[in-house]
């Protein structure tokens, strides 16, 4: 499968941070019900890099992704997008930057079920005020890249799980984003279909230089990325030790 929406896209300098986060804190609730989701997380993501944010449920990985993607704000700390402090942006400017620079692939798809596949794909372009003719051209190009152009007039509700996720990827691509955020992108798919979706995402990263940030608890998926960031209880931690296949303790050593 050749994936090319705009083949004139050039890979950015690898050493240039596209996203930076410094000492990020985020809590929900108050008093005895307060939950500290993030407790001082710092990271930098270079342009063209693939990064996995890995952790169990409640580790803070999805919260961190939402903050990096400007879908939420930290209580303390700073997020820089292309060197610009996101805290200096307000309202419409945040929405415009997110819509122009970021693409999103979520586990739950978030498609409009009774809208056509094409209408779902071009939604970011409609939000950006792109003309109807250009929306259609770019939307169809994205669908062709994902081998879904024959489904353009179908209702999203009539697609299989794998087809829906490919529509989501087409929607993420239609604005030629610098970064794709993928939150458990294969969580609702069978193994074979999930592998196809993974391959598409990594092909986009490798061939088009799109920065890829994947949130997952799947260590096999995480290991396909250039780098892994492990979270536990809201803090960055070392990679977990591999399982001892020969037993535990002295008994394992003697086996």
**pLDDT tens-digit series, residues 75-110:** 999 999 999 999 999 888 998 999 889 999 988 889
Confirm if 111 and 168 have CB atoms less than 8 A apart: yes
**Cβ atoms of 38 and 60 closer than 8 Å:** yes
pLDDT of amino acid 251: 45
Q: Model confidence at 187, in pLDDT bands (50, 70, 90)?
A: confident
C-beta of residue 48 within 8 angstroms of C-beta of residue 68:
no
| pLDDT (mean) for 66-78 | 96
Write the pLDDT tens digit of every residue in 128-184: 899 999 999 999 999 998 899 999 999 999 999 999 999 999 999 999 999 999 999
Mean per-residue pLDDT for 124-130? 91
Whether the model clears a pTM of 0.75, i.e. scores above it, the answer is yes
Q: What is the CATH number of domain 49-73+91-238?
A: 3.40.50.300
User: Please, are residues 173 and 98 in contact by the beta-carbon 8 Å criterion?
Assistant: no
Query: Do residues 233 and 31 lie in contact, with contact meaning Cβ atoms separated by under 8 Å?
Result: no
Token match 């939604």: residue? 123
Q: Is 248 or 66 the better-scoring residue by pLDDT?
A: 66
Beta strands in 82-136 (DSSP E): 84-85, 102-106
């Amino acid at each position: 499968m050749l994936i090319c929406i705009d083949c004139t896209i050039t890979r950015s300098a690898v050493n240039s941070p596209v996203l930076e986060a410094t000492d990020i804190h985020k809590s929900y609730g108050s008093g005895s019900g307060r939950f500290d989701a993030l407790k001082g997380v710092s990271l930098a993501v270079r342009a063209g890099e693939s990064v996995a944010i890995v952790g169990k449920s409640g580790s803070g990985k999805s919260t961190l992704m939402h903050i990096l993607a400007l879908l939420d704000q930290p209580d303390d700390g700073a997020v820089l997008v292309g060197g610009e402090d996101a805290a200096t942006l307000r309202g419409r400017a945040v929405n415009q930057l997110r819509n122009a620079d970021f693409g999103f692939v979520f586990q739950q798809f978030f498609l409009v079920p009774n809208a056509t596949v094409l209408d779902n794909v071009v939604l970011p372009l409609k939000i950006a005020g792109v003309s109807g003719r250009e929306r259609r051209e770019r939307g169809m190009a994205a669908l062709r890249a994902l081998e879904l152009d024959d489904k353009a007039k179908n209702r999203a509700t009539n697609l299989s799980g794998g087809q829906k996720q490919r529509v989501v990827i087409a929607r993420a691509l239609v604005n030629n984003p610098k970064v794709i955020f993928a939150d458990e992108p294969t969580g609702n798919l069978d193994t074979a279909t999930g592998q196809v979706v993974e391959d598409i995402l990594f092909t986009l990263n490798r061939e088009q230089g799109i920065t890829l940030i994947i949130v997952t608890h799947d260590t096999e998926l995480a290991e396909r990325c250039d780098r892994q960031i492990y979270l536990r209880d809201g803090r960055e931690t070392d990679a977990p030790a591999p399982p001892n296949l020969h037993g535990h303790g002295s008994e394992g050593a003697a086996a």
